[in-house]
Amino acid sequence: MPAGKQEVEAMADPTAATNASNASNANSSSVTAVAPAEAAAADVGIQGPLHSVLEVEDTGATQFDSAEAQKSSSSPPPPPPPSPPLQGHPQAPDGGYGWVVVFSGFLANAIVFGWNNVWGVVQKALHENDPSLSLSSLSFVGGVALGTIFLGGAPVAWMQARFGTRPPLVLGTLMMVAGLELASLATQTWQLALTLSVLWGLGSSIMFLGTVAVPSQWFSRKRALATGLASSGSGFGGLVFAPVAQKLIDEFGIPWTFRIFGFVTLVAGLTASITMKRLFVPPRPDKYTKRSSLLDREILAAPGFKWFLAFAFFDLCGYIVPFYFLPGATLVAAMSGINAVGRIFAGRLADHLGRINVLIINCFIGGLSCLVIWTVAKSFAVLLVFTLIYGVFSGAYWALCAPAVAEVVGLHKLPSALTLVFFTNVLPLIFSGPLASAIYTQMGSDSYVGSILFAGVAMCFGSSLLLGTKFAKNRRLLAKV
């Protein structure tokens, strides 16, 4: 950014808004409104409530006489003008076909993360049906599949730039279906790894990263609501898929469960692919490409960003464990459903209290519920209480990750920063499940305490690390960050 420029949010404090207005009247500064950076965010698959910004360019004089300053401070500031669309981009309609796009994103999240949310039910059935398939190896299969989802940022961006939005999504759908159908024939762990971890995982990566940013293009004032509804498909998918998977396993067996879910994925995936539509195609000039490179080391130098990476790593080490180890499909379904609702409310609450603040609070409560409630849960009622509390608070990470990172690095660095965060997600998502299974095996088949402690301590420790990000932005404890 040229010297003398500074970025402030469109909903800035009254004093800043007044000073900017007075400076404009004095012909000492110029104000240019710019639209949100969806063009950058869409290339790497990002969603979240990204607010408009005003770029204020100083041209020299910034002094006011005391009488004029007193007059401006005593009168309310004028409301900020609405931000016009970026040149060449249509104005977001805040509705219309945008709601169809939201529904498409909902379906994509449902078939991608809904299946992951019920993997614990499937792996338990696989182990009981064939004890030679260890829980740790099956957890590894599910973990690799989940981690693979976040590895396709650059290839998916290239495919959409080359072929458009819909053809890559159709390809991703067919890969997911092929993975599930071939998994129905698998009899060994390595076969499940190839069909689910690799084939299904890569298809899911195309589907998720190819749809996650599109709903935000269609909305301005309602962007938080739209993106929250789209991402909630993951929780509602788990809510429906978990009891259905258990019923199918009991009635028809594991192979036919894979086949039926493959057919469901085909219908939902093709529907999402056909109805998904970008409002505009983000430009990719050479200047932009270089500035958004993953190797941009300025991102790591941003105050608090390294603390955020550490938080993301440890929080996800614990996050996935309850989905793998809660006994019974009913509890997994309940957790998935309440998790979806929790994501929507977390986004709304963050607008008032600050995104990083809400992340710290929610993730800490999620970890604390593991340590305080899950460790002593001996009845279904207590397990249900834990399920509801954990489900409400733990989903905040997925709802607030992108907007929180934007607070740390700025909108112009958000795509590269999110790509780094996604890579940080991969290792814990792959290995936390197998590690928790190994702890469970070492402590004996009747004790989940070790695995529960692992999850709770990891999440609480991770949320404490996020304090480093908060204080790097503002050292006041109660500041909105």
CATH number of the CATH domain containing 457 = 1.20.1250.20
Q: Whole-angstrom Cα distance, residue 448 to residue 386?
A: 15
Q: Whole-angstrom Cα distance, residue 339 to residue 255?
A: 29
Tell whether 121 and 178 lie within a shared domain: yes
- Inside any domain, residue 81: no
**H-helix or E-strand containing 363?**
helix 355-372
Residues of the chain with pLDDT below 50 are 1-88, 285-294
Question: Which residues, in sequence order, are bridge partners of residue 6?
Answer: 56
Q: How many structural domains comprise the chain?
A: 3
Residue span of the structural domain in which 10 resides: 5-74
- Inside any domain, residue 458: yes
Q: How far is CA 298 from CA 291, 356, 419, 421, 425, in A?
A: 10, 21, 14, 15, 21
The pLDDT value given to residue 411: 60
Domain boundary among the residues 74, 108, 135 is at 74
At 6, list the tokens: 């500074």
Q: Whole-angstrom Cα distance, residue 422 to residue 312?
A: 9
Q: Whole-angstrom Cα distance, residue 158 to residue 168?
A: 10
Tell whether 365 and 449 lie within a shared domain: yes
- Inside any domain, residue 80: no
The pLDDT value given to residue 261: 94
- Inside any domain, residue 446: yes
Q: What is the DSSP letter of 197?
A: I
Domain boundary among the residues 23, 47, 74 is at 74
Tell whether 364 and 229 lie within a shared domain: no
Other C-beta atoms within 10 Å of 402: how many?
26
Which residues, including other chains, have CB under 8 Å from residue 368's CB and lie 6 or more apart? 456, 460
Tell whether 36 and 150 lie within a shared domain: no
